[in-house]
Amino acid sequence: MGFATLAGMRSMSAPAFLSHYLSRQPSSGLAGSSLRLLQKPFTAGLLKAAAAGEMVGDKLPNAPDRIALPVLTGRLLSGALVGAAWYRSRHGSALGGGLLGAAVAVASTFVSYALRTGISEKSGVPSALVGVGEDALVLAGGKALIGAQRPAASEWHPM
C-alpha cells in the first residue's frame, strides 16, 4: 500500500522506487511474468528519469490537476502496476495486488490534492512551492519504503 500511496502523489515515482528495489532484490515470484521487467536495471533507470521529469512538469503553470480524468487514470494504473508487481513478487495474486494498488492510488490522489490545494489556499504559498514539499515527502517516503523491505520470505536467507 505504501508504493500505491506514492502513485497517488507522483505517478512515476512509485514504479521508479519499486523497480529500483526489485533491480537490487530480484524475486522469483516475478519469473515468467511481464512484471519481471521491473527487475531490470535499465527499466529502473528509465523510470527514475520519468519520475524526475514528472516532478519538474508538475510545477509548470499549465500542468493539469491530478484529479483530471487522464491524470487520475495514470495514477490509478501506476498504483495497479506497483500493487500487482509487489504482490506477485511476494508470490501472491497479481490481480488482488493490482486492484488494491489501484484503489489506494486513487484515494491517495484525492487526499494529496486536497492537502496541496488546501495548504496553498490557506497559507498563500504558491501551489508549485507546496509541490516541492510534496516532492520531498515522496522522496523520503520512497526511500523509507525501500529501506524497510526484506526479500520475499522464500528468498531471504539471514546470515
Contact in structure between 99 and 83 (CB atoms under 8 Å)? yes
In a domain, 28, yes or no: yes
> Which residue has 528509465 as its cell numbers?
46
Contact in structure between 5 and 105 (CB atoms under 8 Å)? yes
Residue 71 pLDDT grade (very low, low, confident, very high; cuts 50, 70, 90): very high
Q: What's the pTM value of the predicted model, to 2 decimals?
A: 0.90
Tally: H helices and E strands in the chain: 6, 0
Contact in structure between 88 and 66 (CB atoms under 8 Å)? no
Domain that holds residue 7: 2-148
- Give how many domains the chain has, as a whole number: 1
Task: For 120-140, write each residue's pLDDT tens digit.
Answer: 999 999 999 999 999 999 999
Task: For 28-43, write each residue's pLDDT tens digit.
Answer: 999 999 999 999 999 9
In a domain, 137, yes or no: yes
